[in-house]
Structure 1
């Protein structure tokens, strides 16, 4: 199962069915997300696919203006491929990407992977009192999509 991880930002290589299935059934942050929203989110993001051989085993997505701000989202490694450092490699590839250099702020939210991101320099917000959000945790379950 172990092997070299190849990371690509070529959207045409992404296994959209795998990404949708994982996000909609195996995550706490996107449970139930409709397929069309996954497609739309990928179309409007810089995406990173992690591949062992021809199989996609990891994914990450960055939302950015490529000048001042980026937000890292939807990071995952398939359970059967965990423990090989693939998550670390994907996050490092994100941080090394040429279009994501010199940003003033790079954010993410995590409920369970603080140690992974801390290794890459992420910290709790310097001024959490300045941050606000409009959070709708059940939007995928309650929204009717056209």
Structure 2
């Protein structure tokens, strides 16, 4: 996309931009800085940047790069939405060489089903096989 680039280089990440967005999101409200830093260090991260280097978007995958990946923390900053950056990011992500041949890629979303469906994601056909440990207030223990 003209005027933008996507990078998986951790050195390009602007932690302050990422933290500012994610710590105010519905899915990770008040996440501690140290927790997010650890998450980034242990994930395949995709940053979306203006040619000037300013970070305007992000996504990360928790993955073994062989069989499974979980897509998390996807965002485009509000002022850069509506120009196709989320679709470009998703195309780049699903085409990434390290993510080919995975048996399963998952995500959870409250509001972007239409976007993800365009890239092959669909509702779980047999949700009864999935289990979780859910601690929605875990970040409150750090406050």
Distance 2:2 2:81 in 1: 12
In the other structure, the counterpart of 2:37 is 39
Do structure 1's residue 60 and structure 2's residue 59 form an aligned pair? Answer: yes
The question of whether the paired residues in 1 share the 8 Å contact of 2:40 and 2:60 is answered with yes
Question: 1:127 deviation in Å?
Answer: 1.3
Q: Are the aligned partners of 1:34 and 1:140 in contact in 2 as well (CA < 8 Å)?
A: yes
> CA-atom RMSD, angstroms?
1.4
Aligned residues: 142
Extract unaligned runs of 5+ from structure 2: none
TM-score of the superposed pair, with normalisation by structure 1: 0.93
Alignment partners' CA distance in 2, 1:144 and 1:85: 37
Distance, in Å, in 2 between the alignment partners of 1:134 and 1:92 is 31
**TM-score, normalising length: structure 2:** 0.95
Secondary structure (helix, strand or coil) at the match of 2:17 reads helix
Counterpart residue number, 2:26 = 28
Unaligned runs of 5+ in 1: none
8 A contact 1:58–1:78 mirrored in 2: yes
